[in-house]
Structure 1
Amino acid sequence: MTQRDAGGFIGQLANAAAIDRTFPRSGDVEAARKWLQANRASGDDWEALEDAESKWIALTG
């Protein structure tokens, strides 16, 4: 959710998550993966989640 201003698929995924009430806001990346699976996400969405996770790890150490 903190990457809503990111460009490309990461920003699109973050914006979709922000407006979806079923998105697990207090969950971890596994909860986000389950959300994607439940919503039958495309390959681009899965790639965006992986990229977002990598960026988050880089920022948080």
Structure 2
Amino acid sequence: MQLALEIRFLGLDAWPLVEAAAREKAARLDQFRADLMACRITIEDVHVARAPRPASPEVAWSPKTSA
């Protein structure tokens, strides 16, 4: 990834083990797309979250240019 990974915790304190697991999973994304620009992961408390999933990743990559 070209930009730093962003991890946000909503409705709960940051947990080092959860953050480490999220970083490990995000690092594996480079295996699938070499042109990833950024990744943002939001981890929410399931009791407070409005979304049905407690973690939601956002990934961006650069479009391929034709030569």
Q: Same fold (TM over 0.5)?
A: no
TM-score (norm 2): 0.35
Higher strand share: 2
TM-score (norm 1): 0.37
Instruction: Compare CA radii of gyration and give the structure with the larger one.
Output: 2
RCO comparison, higher one (Cα < 8 Å, 6+):
2
Higher helix share: 1
